[in-house]
Amino acid sequence: MKVAIYSADWNDTDGAGNSIVKYAKGKPYPLTDETAGHIAQGHAVEAEVDDDPVTAADKAARARQLADKAVQKAQEAEAAAALAEQAKETARLAEEEEAAEAKAAAERADAERAASAPESNLFQRPATPAPNSETAE
């Protein structure tokens, strides 16, 4: 199919007198009397485009496939994030358990040391010697 492709924007005026882009630069437009005139004036070039484009249904099917893949990837990422969070929580609980076991072992060791140590006389007064009769004179 032959089309006109513009080398620059082609402006027109709307009913209120405002300038608007009617034909955008680089886009294909059907070959009409107006676009053929623009080609003759050098504002556009004539080009041939494929008459058998991919149908809208094919594009929609492909878009659905891509969307399904995106949803699947998002679900996989969500599941991976949940597993990572579970692993983090498991590690935290293991550290807490390890710390509790270490504290309990230290307390047991302190109790065993206290039970096996002789009573200390550090806070008792030393006995005073009995007066000696020889030194009493």
Q: What are the structural domain ranges in the chain?
A: 2-48, 54-114
Q: What is the pLDDT of residue 120?
A: 57
Contact 25, 6 (CB under 8 A): yes
The tens digit of pLDDT for each residue in 19-75 reads: 999 999 988 899 999 999 999 999 899 988 776 566 777 878 888 999 999 999 999
The tens digit of pLDDT for each residue in 78-108 reads: 999 999 999 999 999 999 999 999 999 999 9
Q: What is the pLDDT of residue 49?
A: 78
Q: Give the C-alpha separation, 5 to 49, whole Å.
A: 11
Looking at residue 25, the DSSP 8-state letter turns out to be B
Is residue 121 very low, low, confident or very high in pLDDT (cuts 50, 70, 90)?
Answer: low
